[in-house]
Structure 1
């Protein structure tokens, strides 16, 4: 079956176009899924580039949606023909993928396969950030970096639904429009004004309760500077590169603030926690309360281009691969 695989080329990993590999039957507790769409995420580029170490060669992609084609022994919750989605199953850049049945969740009838594939990983990330990392409360003011990105647009909506005042940062007028349409109360174009100065002005010098920062190296110092005392800096990604080592004394000097580097896997600790988060996210999508923006659709053979476009930081919303 066709897959996009990563191999080492001249000492550096690169995404290559589809390679035929043998299919296999699902084992105990597994299902074989015909992939309708696979989500493209920054974590895929981190794995490809060696930021997150994985053995080579490997097939990237953690997220997708499709139809069950075969079930393995001991699978009682799914059947052939069921529409399912997943967010933590490596190898999703393919036309077929083996997924643990415990982590393959049914897709509601009101949600299309493409929307399901575009929702889970980033939607669950936004969900744990506003419910667990810093549980947003009515009246909180929070800052969302890259507010027009895939996670950013969902974060803005979920934080607003919990009663927050949301400040977003973006780079262009088009991205500002998208962030405002998602519900951002204030939008700062960091290419035109200093987001630290502007955020402090918007909060009368008090600072924000939380910064949700998926950008990393270029925003970290400013993110720390705009927190109010005992605020939370949730560094959930590093699209601009990794943050250098941090002296803990800086957290004291910033106001006894909290720094965390969370990841989705640790917030899907059990199938039950996964299902709780999925039900809330899919429920919000099905009701129309959470809007998912798909802005790029690529053929599986164009996986490399999808990565290059994502890493350029010129994209908005969600990118998909369509086998």
Structure 2
């Protein structure tokens, strides 16, 4: 089969490999599309050390072509979207059966756009932050795949005001399509908010943005940290101050959840999938690349020039 490997020199190479065989609890999927996500930049840049050469790719859509032990043989032929630990940038990928969801009549290209971003955005709103009707929500990286989905989930949850933070004016124009009430440029946060306090802040950035977000929480407000796009530097929170104001600093880690409680992550992915299928939530694929152009796709994501979701066309 054709596959892209990430080699020890941090370069992507298209090569031929043997097709993998599913083990217990796994399915093999003939990949139609693979989603590009931030984890790809982290692996490429060495923040998640993995043995090289390595077939990257963490989300895929396609059809099940084989199943391992303890998996229902009737899943063969099923159209699915899947969360994987690696290998999605190949013609065949192995995925945990528990994190492989049937998509019914949903187009495979649309299903590939769900990836890890959809359950992450759903959980940020409903599980971690528990957004209540009328609350205000601020979302960093508002034009990305998680941000655009989180804004829509927040609106469905009844949020009264949704503010987004983006890096450029072009990204603000793009994010405006997804129901934000106000969009700020990164350099405008938090000064442009004036005295406004927020019930919920969703923060994949870290660093000074996280410190500022904590300071901007309303009484009983919650900041959910789910990444560190900024340089890795510690953010200190005084538990006494948090207690005094009833505020909370929470974390969310979908990768860890997939290993400790995959059924929970799968349930959130299913809810998100159903909302997309029903037309209540939309995904937005803004770029499609061939398998041999993966390096360009990942680099554009790393540079912040990608809005919405990028996918790799495999089949």
Residue 41 and residue 123 in structure 1: after superposition, are their counterparts in 2 closer, same or farther (change >3 A)? same
* TM-superposition CA deviations, 1:150-191 (whole Å, max 9, x none): 111001110111111101112333322332221111111235
Matches within 5 A, 1:109-148: 109=105, 111-148=106-143
Aligned to 1:270: 261
What is the CA RMSD across the aligned residues, in angstroms?
Answer: 2.1
Secondary structure of 1:119's match? coil
**Aligned residue pair count:** 311
Aligned to 1:102: 98
Any unmatched runs of 5+ in structure 2?
Answer: none
CA distance in 1, matches of 2:207, 2:214: 12
Matches within 5 A, 1:93-242: 93-109=89-105, 111-164=106-159, 165-191=161-187, 194-199=188-193, 201=194, 205-217=195-207, 219-242=209-232
Residue 108 and residue 239 in structure 1: after superposition, are their counterparts in 2 closer, same or farther (change >3 A)? farther
CA distance in 1, matches of 2:118, 2:250: 19
Aligned to 1:32: 28
* TM-superposition CA deviations, 1:287-319 (whole Å, max 9, x none): 111110101111111111111100101210001
Aligned to 1:246: 235
Aligned to 1:7: 7
TM-score with structure 1 length normalisation? 0.89
| Alignment of 1:297 onto 2:291 | no
| Alignment of 1:76 onto 2:65 | no
What is the Cα deviation at residue 114 of structure 1? Answer: 1.1
Any unmatched runs of 5+ in structure 1?
Answer: none
TM-score with structure 2 length normalisation? 0.91
What is the Cα deviation at residue 77 of structure 1? Answer: 6.1
CA distance in 1, matches of 2:116, 2:277: 16
Residue 240 and residue 296 in structure 1: after superposition, are their counterparts in 2 closer, same or farther (change >3 A)? farther
Residue 256 and residue 68 in structure 1: after superposition, are their counterparts in 2 closer, same or farther (change >3 A)? same
Q: Verify the 8 A CA contact 2:206 2:235 in the aligned structure 1.
A: no
